[in-house]
Structure 1
């Protein structure tokens, strides 16, 4: 479905920050960069700033996602801050409700709760997180509903009450990289975010299923879709292509099953990856927009035409922090009329 009437300047833009750990830098540096980026994002007019739960990854420092949300929300003033997402099978719904109820109470009307079904890590670390693996994924739909109940202002079905949490009505999103969460989000009438920044294959099918089966709820009357994209913008196509080699290297780690810190850009990846690895990385990065302002704007407009997204969440894993901030500054200018 394409409709050029929806223009990129009319689509809210948000940021997913994986809080990358840079080679030759510390985790503390990553946290400082995260907050600086969030403050700049607020100045640039981005809608949301989300962080995602990952574990046992040398290059990603967002494992304690709730703590980082509080850190960012407490040092910004207007931008929405949230989780993209919390991997619900790793946690008891009551604990998540209490955590996000606390955040919402502290930073009213600025907190989002995105929920994922994946572990956010490798199988061995999953066992360390969950201890008991029985039913953790299979119970996802009921756990989502239980969590929403804890956050609602309805009379609790049992004597268990989230304090704080009850009555905060924190906006809950379902996140997905397949059609499963699209179906569940449609059934529950929740907003849906698709992880097309790393799992593009089922994007269009998931959007179709979500929109065709959406059931209005008390919190959402019409379907609302956010889609992810990797974007590296710079002052020239050549500079952006150079910066983007760090992104390719990051995803090469994923393909290889290795865990390394984010590497600085290189002149060429030819000596680093094989032809098969290059193909695998490029398949994951189908929605990877790289170039100058003019180039990236055209690519993102086509993405909007194709998906009819209500919102785009941008990921820019650029090694140099100043260049990363500049990339987001360029992207933010697409919203100017």
Structure 2
């Protein structure tokens, strides 16, 4: 067992990726009980809901992590919002919706003082961030709780930036990963590479431990990542169909279908690039690469798309659903999280 894993008080160098919208503390608890490090996605939780979830995790006595977004909140102009709703108007009509009912507030808030105060109450093992880091004062508050601080990097430059600011580990997020891309220094997606190209470069570039993320969904993949220098491996997609996940029946069905073999990065669901199973909305609203220059900045594009998703899914339709998944989604299993952990770690001595 490595020193990194010992510090986490885990049995295995396996991190469950925090997946907002498809899990709560139940999956995190199940993974921690099985010997990995379970992770709670905190970015979409109210302060009250965050406190309740952390209480359940803390009461278990097990190590766990909690994750937040660290994006700069950019409010779109009224003109951009109108252009987006005008583009979606035909679909609103199709589902008998009114664009006047699109919410104006942000659906996801960046990490702030209120969340930092809750963390001080519970002192989790790890606090991780996506989209960079919060302000230095907030990072210092988190550090004072005794938590390890991690953040995602999609390039070597981002990894170095994070290491210079004293993170305890860098999560090297390869291009294969499902869900939102963690980039924060550049919006140029062509700078981002696959996990097994990115990982050894990041390991060579920084002195802190590096966690491999993206496309790793088998025991053989876990071993390969560790051989390339990863201190641990972060796995998300393989847990999407776990018994303890909150992944919807429609999303699970898509993961078990041939459609899951075709994923792509799109910004049409939230305003920020994220990988999911290609569907009607991605093809219709994006260009050849499934990106739209009309989508308002994160997270405001999701306000209108959320209404379309809800209406369509009531009819069993996933045309407007953000079916987040990585490029190795075909390995998703309906099984307890403990079974998935055992399978992923079976080749570890």
TM-score, normalising length: structure 2: 0.47
TM-score, normalising length: structure 1: 0.48
